[in-house]
Amino acid sequence: SKMYSETLFEHIKNPRKVGTIEDADGVEEVGNPVCADTMTFSIKVKNNRIEDIKFQTFGCGAAIAVSSMVSEMAKGKTLEEATKITNKMVAEALEGLPKQKMHCSNLGADALRKAIENYRVKKAGFIPPMEAKKCYCPVCDLEKPMEGEYCTGCGREVSEEEESHAH
């Protein structure tokens, strides 16, 4: 029996838009929780449209085909239209995926949306905060606020020297 559709196979063999856009307006990497494969889209936006899009996927053939198809579907669309692309639409455009490969298609449209989100955040001039360093109370060992002098866990006053830090 045929596992992969012609379209899916064709995109595996000849993926469109592989690579990264150097001066991308939006870029974001996402990881597949099922298999830990990753997918990164970079987009170039002009007049609210996706003028160019590239992807880098470290994953299986199906994931590459999904990325390729998402790129084709998104190119030239407005950001609003592109945001409406769903994982299901991508799987359908590939004429379906084998059941055990369905999880591979659960990333494409989400990853695209993340890249768009990144573009919007950048455009708004918002700089995402650095991953907050965690701080632990030396007494009760609970996470305490970085700034506060008191541990919200045990209520004890904690001096800066006493705090233990971890990433």
The verdict on whether 137 is a catalytic residue reads no
Catalytic residue among 104, 135, 137, 151: 104
Known catalytic residue at 35: yes
Contacts of 42 (CB under 8 A, 6+ apart): 20, 21, 24, 26, 27, 53, 54, 55, 115
Q: Choose, by CB under 6 A, the member of 32, 42, 67, 68 that binds ligand FES.
A: 32
Binding of ligand FES by 28 (CB under 6 A): no
- Minimum CB distance to ligand FES, residue 21 (Å): 22
Per CB under 6 A, which of residues 82..141 are in contact with ligand FES? 104
Tell me the number of residues near ligand FES by CB under 6 A: 8
Distance CA 44, CA 77 (A): 12
Smallest CA-to-CA distance from 69 within 87, 52, 83, 51 is with 87
Regarding 63 and contact with ligand FES (CB under 6 A), the answer is yes
Q: Rank residues 74 and 111 by Cβ distance to ligand FES and give the closer one.
A: 111
Binder to ligand FES among 15, 37, 70, 93 (CB under 6 A)? 37
Q: 27-52 in b/e burial notation, b at 16+ Cβ within 10 A?
A: bbebebeeeebbbbbbbbbeeebbeb
**36 versus 166: smaller Cβ distance to ligand FES:** 36
* CA 21 to each of CA 37, 52, 92, 151: distance values in angstroms, whole numbers, following the listed order: 21, 8, 27, 46
The residues binding ligand FES (CB under 6 A) are: 32, 35, 37, 59-60, 62-63, 104
